Amino acid sequence: MSRPISDRSMSDLPLSDLPATEHLATHEVENQPVPRASRDPWADDPVIRHWAGVMGGREDHLAATGRRLDDPAAWQAAEEARRDKPRAVLFGRDGRRLDEVRFNPGYHQLMQLGLSSGYANAAHDGAPGGHVTHLAVNYMFSQIEPGVCCPLTMTYAGIPALRADPELEKTWRPKLLSDEHDPSIAPVEAKRGATLGMAMTEKQGGSDVRTNSTRAERDGEHYRLTGHKWFCSAPMSDGFLTLAQAEGGLTCFLVPRWLEGERNAIRLQRLKDKLGNHANASSEIEYQGALAHRLGEEGRGVRTIIEMVHHTRLDTSMAPAGFMRAALSEAHWWAASRRVFQRTLVDQPLMRSVLADLALDWEGAVALSMIAARAFDGDTAEDRAFARIAVALGKYLNNKRVGPVVGEAMEVLGGMGYVEETPLPMLYREAPLNGIWEGSGNVICLDILRTLAKEPLAGEVLTDCLKGATGSDRRYDAALQAHQSRWPKGPEEAEARWFCESLAQLLTAAVLIRHGTGAVADGYVATRLAGERGHVYGAVSGLDTAAILERLGPPG
């Protein structure tokens, strides 16, 4: 097992931790903020502390996680895992198939750090506030290395789907709940801990999984799968949830990576050369008679795997908030340290307007995701219905906001924001990913419409939440009335994006009004609902910039 982050030697630390020479032969180095080796993503962030507390998260657990992440070696491990990408090892020197992926040690160190911080198991250990706590951990890790979040999220999300088969759950659940990262090649029964991946997408269907052509044929108590998967996330996981056509229709299966004494017939074709998410391996695979365990009844594959999708969507709604936070933290640190035109950047009115405007979407994203997580922690039919609709609204809106927020933060740093030595290029590459993963924008919008049409309780609890915020801000009340008047029976499909954006912003505003601070709620309603703004960030007036920027925490 890899060394704990805190046990790494000084030689492993980033170069920025060593004394730097400021007196150069031609000039003095000045007006350049000293790079931060690390930061505590809990203690330095008033927003996540506020919302985790309001929604019932385990604050002591999260504070301890923040302290563990405030380690230069953790941030260096993340950088090394990104720069040294995973490599496919398809064959051994003797020509026999291996179908393995090799990772930089930093990847394994962060996987261990994530699992031991409760990323995968906090939501399922029976203690109160599990999903809120999990989501706050996801938010913190997304700021450091989003690549490891993919396998950690799928492991967290796959656990509820196992309830469809008590025997499989009995074998796999304890391993998935482990706080140990065990990358060894061994069947799940022999491992200290295990991870889950997902392999659903095929070339001909994409999001339309009912067109999947992978075949499942009975083999005694098990099945054998034959077919191609265009995307398999985290191919070195210990098992994969996948869909295949059985005699009774599209069915969900759990495919183990390793069997007793042999490799399962999962052939790794190639790793995808992606825009970002470089520390994580995404792949194309073929099942060539791979042994599989049926999970749930034949013909009910979508209903079974939707449990996993529902939970991964929660994480894909919060990860953009983590990216926004990381980008704004960098921009705030730079602006507070850099002097331009005889004044510190952060003291200049125009810069303050830009940062405050960006911060409204960041805190709105945290609030919207956190209220969904609180519903996941509930146990009533109303909680489940609200979770279903709120997580889809959060995934849609937050992912549409994150790219422009990161781009503006990059611009705050000027040319340095475009340089790989800063985290901004990495964050910019990551920004589109969660909007694509587990359903792109159109898919999510159509899902929202179906939910409201087919699950009346979801619409009822959502309406109750929206009405609960009325009476305190006439602009919010007017925006809610305008939305209901525009779509009294829901929108036509062509207007789905407009409808979903409006509904998600109303829900965000309602949560901010009921549970947030006055300056943020007022600014969000004024600019996002009442239209008191231009069309770009910073084109605003009348914001309480001092109070909003205080939510960014210390600049570094």
Q: State residue 139 phi and psi, 5-degree precision.
A: -60, -45
pLDDT interval class at 458 (50, 70, 90): very high
What's the whole-number mean pLDDT along residues 68-97? 96
| Position 205 pLDDT exceeds 70 | yes
pLDDT of res. 35: 84
CA distance 52 to 311: 18
Per DSSP, helices labelled H in 338-440 are: 349-377, 381-412, 424-430, 433-436
Q: Which pair of tokens denotes residue 483? A: 């939305």
Question: What's the whole-number average pLDDT of the chain?
Answer: 94
| Position 206 pLDDT exceeds 90 | no
The helix-helix angle for 496-515 and 474-486 (nearest 10°) equals 150
| Cα 32 from chain centre | 32
For the segment 289-305, what is each residue's pLDDT rounded down to a tens digit?
999 999 999 999 999 99
What's the whole-number mean pLDDT along residues 252-267? 96
| Position 11 pLDDT exceeds 70 | no
For the segment 356-398, what is each residue's pLDDT rounded down to a tens digit?
999 999 999 999 999 999 999 999 999 999 999 999 999 999 9
pLDDT interval class at 9 (50, 70, 90): very low
300: CB partners within 8 A, 6+ apart: 249, 251, 252
pLDDT interval class at 14 (50, 70, 90): low
For residue 97, list its beta bridge partners. 91
| List of domains in the chain | 5-176 (no CATH), 188-300 (2.40.110.20), 303-550 (1.20.140.10)
For the segment 489-540, what is each residue's pLDDT rounded down to a tens digit?
999 999 999 999 999 999 999 999 999 999 999 999 999 999 999 999 999 9
pLDDT interval class at 3 (50, 70, 90): very low
User: How many H-runs (helices) and E-runs (strands) does the chain carry?
Assistant: 18, 13
What's the whole-number mean pLDDT along residues 176-192? 97
The helix-helix angle for 46-54 and 349-377 (nearest 10°) equals 30
306: CB partners within 8 A, 6+ apart: none
Please tell me which residue, 5 or 385, carries the higher pLDDT value: 385
What's the whole-number mean pLDDT along residues 465-481? 98
What's the whole-number mean pLDDT along residues 409-433? 96
**CA nearest 312: which of 433, 451, 442, 203?**
433
pLDDT of res. 17: 54
Please tell me which residue, 406 or 31, carries the higher pLDDT value: 406
Taking the CA atoms of residue 384, residue 389, residue 391 and residue 397 in that order, the dihedral angle to the nearest 10 degrees is -170
Name which of 111-120, 338-347, 443-452 the model is least confident about.
338-347
- Vertex 50: Cα angle to 466 and 391 (nearest 5): 45
Asked whether the beta carbons of 12 and 123 are under 8 A apart, the reply is no
pLDDT of res. 18: 62
For the entire predicted model, the pTM comes to 0.95
SS3 418: helix
Asked whether the beta carbons of 422 and 413 are under 8 A apart, the reply is yes
| Position 13 pLDDT exceeds 80 | no
Distances (CA, A) of 136 to 66, 212, 296, 314, 443: 10, 35, 31, 11, 26
CA distance 431 to 409: 12
| Position 141 pLDDT exceeds 90 | yes
CA distance 179 to 86: 23
| Position 6 pLDDT exceeds 70 | no
